[in-house]
Structure 1
Amino acid sequence: MKSDDRRAAILDRLADHVLAHGLSAASLRPLAKAAQTSDRMLLYYFKDKAEIIAATLDQVSLRLVALLEDQTAKTPLPLADLRTQLLTLLFAERLWPYMRIWLEVAALAARGDPVYRDVGERIARGFLAWGAAQLDSPTPDAREADAARLMVTIEGMLLMRSVGLEDVCRKAL
């Protein structure tokens, strides 16, 4: 139990570090320093760096879901309403660190890194399922299609914001 508590505390510190500094600062020594331990102890709690990164990104994802659940409607919404609500939340400055990390994961996956591709796909499918659960659609098939539309729209808008085209995002709403 003590080992599980220690691992959880390490993951919280790693998530804080990655949110503050991005994935480019995610080499083993800086991660160990952020976790207030040694690189050898990190490897005691995690099999390798890939597992450290995957667990850290899962922790970041859990934090984002918790923030979204605290700020979204408690009942399912039509696609247009949920899209507007989520974009307002996701573009808020306090959530932008999460979006920057997501963009880094996507870029690393696009470069062919299998760790980031696997983690990115798992996180994206989780958010797709979360989005589907938030939607008021007439049928399960429509809900699945609406969730896909929601995700594609948000991803496109995040990319546009990252290159300074927030005005384009506002016009799209």
Structure 2
Amino acid sequence: MGRPKNPARRDELLEKCCDHLLEHGVSGVSLRPLAAEVGASPRTLLYHFGSREELIAEALRRCRARHLAVADAFVRDATPVGGDIAGVLATLWTHSATPAARPFLLLFLDAYTCALRSGDGEGEILTELFGRWHDRITGELTAAGADPGPAASVASLAIAVHRGLLIEWLATGDSARLDAARAAALDMLGALASRALARGGPGA
């Protein structure tokens, strides 16, 4: 029988891998340099995580958990959307467009690009990392009375606008211009959400 795995050692390695990914990104990560960076051997990493792919997926999940813990105010599941898409996105923006969030945003954009390039096998992690808010907004709009189709469309547009503005913020740092664009987008999204709710209401 092989020696039992040490959960504390696995967790320590995972934390160090998170630090590495947040500093260097996920594209081009190979096992041997990563192992050297975290003070382990490639064999040790494979022993604890099974494969390079699973290690990176676990590290991305841990990085995401860190980010959600830092930004707890806008990801707390107990806070309902209740059809107020503009309010939710305003809160998201407040917590996302900060220097503290920048490393996480860069990492997840990098992971998104890498997953799209790799094709099959990465869809699950993409959905897990990036599908949460679309599903939540759609579900809350539907629960508030919107039909599923329009609710999903509004959610898709809301997330696309939010992510697009964040990418522009990362690229330019022009907070004043982007705050104005965000305000205009929120007005539009709020109107679309209200229209979706009206269409799904009694007598629609």
Q: Contact 2:74/2:92 (CA < 8 Å) preserved in 1? A: no
CA–CA separation in structure 2 for the residues paired with 1:85 and 1:76: 13
1:59 CA drift (Å): 0.8
Measure, in 1, the Cα distance between the counterparts of 2:152 and 2:8: 37
Q: Higher RCO, 1 or 2 (CA under 8 Å, sep at least 6)?
A: 2
**Candidates 178, 187, 197, aligned match of 1:169:** 178
Q: 2-side partners of 1:29 and 1:135: how far apart?
A: 47
Helix, strand or coil: the match of 2:131?
A: helix
Please tell me the residue identity of whatever aligns with 1:121.
Answer: T
Q: Supply the distance in 2 between the matched residues of 1:69 and 1:143 (Cα, whole angstroms).
A: 25
Matched, 1:62 2:65: yes
Q: Is 1:151 the equivalent of 2:155?
A: no
Give the count of matched residue pairs. Answer: 173
Comparing 137-146 and 4-13, the one that deviates more: 137-146
1:139 aligns with 2:148: no
Distance 2:105 2:143 in 1: 26
Q: Is the 8 A contact 2:5 2:48 kept in 1?
A: no
Instruction: Give yes or no for contact 1:137–1:143 (8 Å, CA) kept in 2.
Output: no
Give how far 1:150 is off. Answer: 3.2
- Following superposition, the deviation at residue 43 of structure 1 comes to 0.9
Match of 1:7 in 2: 10
Question: Could you list the runs of 5+ residues in structure 1 that have no partner in the other structure?
Answer: none
C-alpha contact (below 8 Å) 1:131/1:147 kept by paired residues: yes
TM-score (norm: length of structure 1): 0.80
Amino acid at match of 1:4: P
Structure 1: distance between partners of 2:52 and 2:17: 12
Q: Which amino acid aligns with 2:8?
A: D
Say which one has the larger Rg.
2
Question: Aligned ranges for residues 2-151 of structure 1 at < 5 Å?
Answer: 3-24=6-27, 26-70=29-73, 75-77=79-81, 78-129=84-135, 138-139=144-145, 141=148, 146-151=154-159
Matches of 1:104 and 1:84, distance apart in 2 = 24
Partner SS, residue 144 of structure 2:
coil
SS in 2 for 1:23: coil
SS at match of 1:100: helix
Deviation sequence 1:84-132 (CA, Å, 0-9, x none): 1111211100111000011111221332344544422221123434566
- Deviation digits for residues 26-55 of structure 1 (CA, Å, limit 9, x no counterpart): 221232133321111111111111111111
Matches of 1:170 and 1:125, distance apart in 2: 24
Deviates more, 1:123-132 or 1:76-85: 123-132
8 Å Cα contact 1:76-1:133 kept in structure 2: no
Q: TM-score, normalised on structure 2?
A: 0.69
Letter of the 2:55 partner, please give it: I
